[in-house]
Homo-oligomer: A and B are copies of this chain.
Amino acid sequence: MHTFEELSTLFSEKFDIAHFPQEPHTLYEPNNYFLSLGGKRLRPVLCLMANELFGEINQDAWNVACAIELFHNFTLIHDDIMDKAPLRRGKQTVHTRYNESTAILAGDVMMIRAYEYINSIDISLIQRIMHLFNHTAVEVCEGQQLDMDFEQKEPVTFDEYLKMITQKTSVLLAASLQMGGILGGGSLGNLDLLYQAGKKIGLAFQVQDDYLDAFGDPEKFGKQAGGDILANKKTFLLIRALETTTGAQKEELEALLKGNTPDKIARVLKIYRDCGVDDWAQQLKTRFLNEALEHFDDMAVLSKRKLPLKALAQKLVKREQ
C-alpha cells in the first residue's frame, strides 16, 4: 500500500513523458507547457488507490490514471478560456500565453489522447471503463455549463449549487475511484460505495475551497482571500448567506453585491460571520467527509487497505491551501 505522497510521486514519474509528437510544435508545445505546470495529480492517485484496495496496482490502472489526468487537464484548458482566467497555478493559462484558437485545439487533442490511453487497456474492460468515462465527461461539461448559467441566474438555490458542483467536480473524483475499483475486480457493491464516497469527497473539497477563498490565511492559501466575494461568485457561503439573512442584514448583503466598494470583502465577511455561515460551512464539510468515510467503512475490503484513502480524504478537507 502507498500513501498519497508516494503515489503522487510514482504517478508523476510515469506521467512526465512525451504524450504528444514533436510536430506541429505550435499545437503540442502548448500542451507540454500546460502539463509541465504540474498539480497534485489527485484524480489519477484516487484511481490508483482504489485499484490498490483489491491488490497490487495493475498496468491498466496506470493507463486509466493517465487518461483521467489528461482529461482533467483538457477541461482546465477549455474552462480557463471560458472563465477568461489569465493564470493557473500562478502561471499563464494556455490561451493567454498562446492564443484562444490554439487553446481550443490543444484541449481537443489532449482529450483525444486520453481516449487512446483508455483504448490500451484489457479488451474485456474497455466498454465498461469507456462508458463510465464518457458518462462522467458529459457530466463535467454539463456542470461547467451550469456554472456559467449560474452567473446570470438569481437566485441559485443550495440544491442547484450542490447539483452543479457534483457534476463539475465530484463525479470525476467518484469515477476515478470507481475506475480503479473496476480494474481491480471490485464487486458491484464495493464499486457503488467507491463512487458515493468520491462524490462526497468532492463536495467536502468544494466546501473547503469556498471556505478558504473567504476565510483562508492568505499566506498559506497562496492568494488574496476574498476573490470569490469580489467576483460575486456563487459559492456555498454566499448562497447560504442569501438564504439565511433577513431584514437589514439581507438588504446590506444585496447592496454590497451590486457594487465593488473598497470595504466589500470585509463587510461581506462580517455578514458571513454574523449569520454563522463560517461555522455552517465547517459543519457541512465535516458531514460530507464523514459520509465519505462511512462509505469506505461499509466496503467489504480489508480495513488496513482502506487507510490511505481515508487519510487522503481527511487531508483534502483539512488542507489550508
Contact = CB atoms under 8 A, between A and B. Distances in A.
A105 B144 contact: yes
B146 A119 contact: no
A126 B134 CA distance: 15
Contact of A27 (B107, B112, B131, B141): B141
A137 B74 CA distance: 15
Interface in A101-121: 101-102, 104-105, 107-109, 111-113, 115-116, 119
A82 B113 CA distance: 21
A104 B82 CA distance: 8
A140 B21 CA distance: 14
B119 A137 contact: no
A316 interface: no
A314 to B, nearest CB: 33
A108 B109 contact: no
Q: Which of A27, A100, A112, A116 has the most CB of B within 10 A?
A: A112
Interface in A128-167: 130-131, 134, 137-138, 141-142, 144-146, 148-149
B142 A27 contact: yes
A130 B119 contact: yes
Please tell me the size bucket of the interface on A. 35 or more
A81 interface: yes
Contacts of A109: 138, 141-142
Contacts of A246: none
Given A26-B145, A78-B104, A104-B78, A115 B127 contact: no
The complex is assembled from copies of this chain, and their number is 2
A119 B133 CA distance: 11
Contacts of A100: 81-82
A90 interface: no
A302 interface: no
A119 to B, nearest CB: 5
B112 A138 contact: yes
Contacts of A231: none
A119 B126 CA distance: 8
B108 A141 contact: yes
A134 B111 contact: no
B145 A116 contact: no
A81 B104 contact: yes
A24 interface: yes
B78 A146 contact: no
A116 B127 CA distance: 9
A248 interface: no
A123 interface: yes
Given A126-B127, A144-B105, A24 B115 contact: no
Given A27-B141, A109-B142, A126-B126, 14 more contacts: A24-B142, A78-B105, A78-B108, A81-B101, A82-B104, A102-B145, A105-B144, A108-B108, A108-B111, A112-B134, A115-B130, A116-B131, A119-B126, A126-B127
Closest 10 CB pairs of A and B: A82-B101, A27-B145, A109-B141, A116-B134, A112-B137, A119-B130, A24-B145, A26-B149, A108-B141, A112-B138
